[in-house]
Amino acid sequence: MQNKGFVRVFAVLLTLVCAFYLSFSFVTNSYYNKAKEYAAGDPLKESHYLDSLSTEKVWLGYTLKKCRTMELNLGLDLKGGMNVILEINVADVLKSLSNDNPDPNFNQALANARERQAKSKKDFVSLFVEEYHKLDPGARLSVIFGTFELKDKITTQTSDAAVESILREEIKSAMDNSFNVLRTRIDRFGVVAPNIKQLDTDGRILIELPGIKDPARVRKLLQGSANLEFWGTKNFTEIYQDIDRVNKKLAEIAKVDAKGASESIDPQEVVADDALAESKGESIAEKTSTDLLVENAEEEHIEGLTQTNTDSLGMMSAEDFAKENPLYAVLNISVDQEGRILPGPVVGVSHYRDTATVNAYFNNPQVKNILPKGLLLKWTVKAFDEKEQYYQLIALDASKSRDGKAPLEGDVIIDASSDFGQHSPFAEVSMAMNAEGAKKWARLTKENIGRSVAIVLDEHVYSFPTVNSEITGGRSSITGNFTAEEGKDLANVLKSGKMSAPARIIQEDVIGPSLGQEAITQGFISFIVALLALMLYLVLVYGFKPGMIANVALLLNLFFTIGILASFQAVLTLSGIAGLVLALAIAVDANVLIYERIKEELRGGKTLKKAVDEGYKKAFSAIFDSNLTSIMTGVILFVFGTGPIRGFATTLIIGIVTSFITAVFLTRLFYETSFAKGRLLDLTFTTNLTKNFLVNPTYDFLKKRKLVYVVITCLTVICVVALGWKGLNQGIDFTGGRNYVVRFDQAVNTAEAQTMLESQFEGSVPSVITIGSPNQVRISTNYMITDSSEEVDSEIETKLYEGLKPLLKEGTSEETFLEDYVLSSQKVGPSIADDIKQGAILAVIFAVLAIGLYILLRFRDVSYSVGTVVSLIQDALFILGIYAIFWGILPFSLEIDQTFIGAILTALGYSVNDKVVIFDRVREYSHIYPKRDKESLFNLALNSTLDRTFNTSVSTFLVLMIIFAFAGDTIRSFSFAMIIGVVMGTFSSLFIAAPIAFEIQNKKFLKKQALHTHK
């Protein structure tokens, strides 16, 4: 083997990279275990422990917080949580850009474009322009969009093409702004390792929130419009005495009896709406902030604000101080070390654990009477210390607001940008307002000269720059030691109020933690059992030493695959585990190809060294081709799939690449190194079980091909009739709707449950099927699926609870039902269902055509492409036919959804592997025996690869049966489709693809022969 040095260096580097990235998972797991041991079952204490160490450097200079972001993340189907796809309505953005133009042609064009979008691959702007020109051929877009806000970009002379380009830019800006708003909301919500990204489809954003326990609150949080406001502020010097009176009043309240105190102050009522407290998984602090400031006294920027509090302690205990000064115990007021009040609107700072308590205090009715009217207190959106633990409380001035509205709102912003100033190393943010906004801004800045103006988005302060003079003309610059990233964030915040483009949820999955834990257990068991079965199979077929060498390669493949997933910061899902297992099966196929080739060379009389060398060389092309076609199907799955399918495709692609490296290069390097040292010279690559198995078989595969054609035709007719008569059981991925997996305390009669729900879901009776155990059902309904209001999800959950109430324990509340009985929920809106269905159809078509084209380019003979494509179509049709015939009969779900399409494409990729190996052997024998007739060449190729076909099919079948048996209901339908695909793929390779290729080649051969005889 050439380039041994390169292979060694590459293997070492890959090992080091994988070990580096996987090390973070080991480090974080050790801290998770320490946190559990410390908390002794209390999740609040566990969260406190991890948060207290989040900014500490724990591994190779990385903080624990950074380590947690770099660990191998588990998908929501493994640990529970919420997966949401939001869509921003482009039509609403266009209406906003037109200032809600009432032109009937404009509004009709928007409506027509909406209808066409469901069936077209064009973007919305193109569809709108086409429809607008159809309705009014001579009209100019500049008339509609030449608004005051866009006057610098669109004039009456601007061409339609230019307007269209500007609209695309504005829409992209709106999408980016909405994305930034959502990202900030999620960051404040405090989910560990959230995932938020813009999808390829215009206006769609994917959000994954592990560990979410309140889906209703998340829906409300995500679907609300951005609320950007500008407020004047009050200096702390003006309200210090009021704040001090609040502290004294709270001390008085604390001295009343326990009942009176609990009635007067109920912090829990406020905690429910406090984003900062929940952002760390907390409610009310277990420690006082006095305890915290002792722990953090080394921080100078915090110490300056808290020195007065610590001095006030003197010999007083923390508990006594908290009793005498309830507010100051949780809010470090804005004073310097000498106790002088600091200028500006900052009232004080609090540790995130204490923000909820501060809110509770200020929301107490008795306290509100003390505070001056028009005073609003808002937290900053970001912590200002390095450890990201302390937040500032800002005093806003609403004394001149009659209806509670801000004096200036974000809809007046025309544009905002961030750049570095000419004479400053810090970023400078510029913003421009419309005419109305310019007037209000001039008034607001004039009234607040020498004070700060607070920029507030979603009730949190993003910035509070000081006003030096009245600003007229609507153009302003904001400075404040901003980094490039901070400046960009502030510019995005300002632009977020530019237009109304609320997001709406079009797909949603909620998986409970118990179901996630079951999925982990089932996935882990299926993986371990499948891996052990594969390793044992290789040892039994090829002997202990060759089998163990292949097994070590499998383990290395597993290590590399997981390491690369971790380096990409990919998420490992249950379907990803299935992809991992399947990739191992494909890795076994590479070893089988090599070992079978080596056995052939040994039977031909060659020495062991020569046989191994020839075996690797001759197996290379077949391994390369089969792996490449599998990668092609994986890429198509990744492009057209979403969510779990992409996770499966990612794992499969990485697993195939690493299996090629380990099976083709590393094992060969090991054999050659061992041979050079005089080791492993007694290998036979057989055992007593397999020594004489399928040695030189002579079965005539082509003799009864016409009978096979008849049988295949009959099966095809049966499948087509079943598809036309009974049809397929389409899941909500393709039809739209909602799924709920509900587990009861006892076995449930599905017909009885369906009858109970009938009265609740008028005109749309849900389907109820048993899934898994007898006490677990899945309820599917498309009731009100087109309704996009915020309340509809809660309404349907209530209907579900009311209908199933007789099956629940007496006294079970709706909240308990949703938390303890509903294990998971899924929602797919009609628009995304149409997209998924269209994508699935295109994925299958592209996969078949791409594979056929590759075979044509690789083998330079159309007969191989025709044979492959026909057999692949037959494979897919047979799988669909089985699903059509048996859905409703077999005791598990046979729904057609994204996972099923993934199974079909994977089965097609697997099926091609076998065909490529056979065709590769036909091509090889055609060069070795050019004078032999085609029939004998094809039969020879089929027989010589039969042992490889058998071993690969059996090992893959074994893996899939293990997944089917152990991996649970989530991917049972997937594994069942794959099992059918393996059986049908093996059959079609031997009896469809090869015979069809033979028929075409033989006709060409006979035609040539006839022409030659004629001449």
Q: Shortest CA distance to 264 belongs to which of 352, 353, 368? A: 368
Locate 341 and state its tokens. Answer: 């009040």
CB contact at 8 A, 503 and 178: yes
Predicted TM-score (pTM) of the model is: 0.72
Q: Cα 942 to chain center, whole Å?
A: 43
Q: Where are the alpha helices (DSSP H) in 232-383?
A: 236-254, 258-264, 267-271, 275-278, 289-295, 300-313, 318-324, 355-362, 365-368
What whole-number distance in Å separates Cα of residue 122 and Cα of residue 678? 65
CB contact at 8 A, 467 and 452: yes
Instruction: Give the distance between the most distant pair of CA atoms in the chain.
Output: 118
Residue 968: per-residue pLDDT: 65
Residue 269: per-residue pLDDT: 38
What whole-number distance in Å separates Cα of residue 97 and Cα of residue 500? 9
Residue 296: per-residue pLDDT: 33
User: 692 CB contacts (<8 Å, ≥6 apart)?
Assistant: none
Residue 265: per-residue pLDDT: 43
CB contact at 8 A, 490 and 478: yes
What are the pLDDT digits (tens) for 680-698?
Answer: 888 889 998 888 888 888 8
Query: Mean pLDDT for each 10-residue chunk of the chain (1015 residues)?
Result: 82 94 92 88 77 84 86 76 80 84 90 77 84 88 83 84 88 78 72 70 75 74 78 92 91 66 42 41 32 32 46 61 87 87 92 88 89 91 82 91 82 82 76 88 91 88 88 83 78 67 75 68 80 90 93 92 88 75 80 90 90 91 85 82 73 89 91 91 88 85 89 92 87 80 87 85 78 81 75 85 89 86 80 71 82 86 91 91 87 78 81 87 88 88 90 87 76 83 90 92 79 64
Residue 1014: per-residue pLDDT: 62
Buried b (16+ CB within 10 A) or exposed e, 25-59: bebbeebeeebeeebeeeeeebbbbbbebbeeebb
CA angle 130, 131, 137 (to 5 degrees): 80
Q: Shortest CA distance to 168 belongs to which of 90, 95, 106, 85? A: 90
What whole-number distance in Å separates Cα of residue 806 and Cα of residue 227? 43
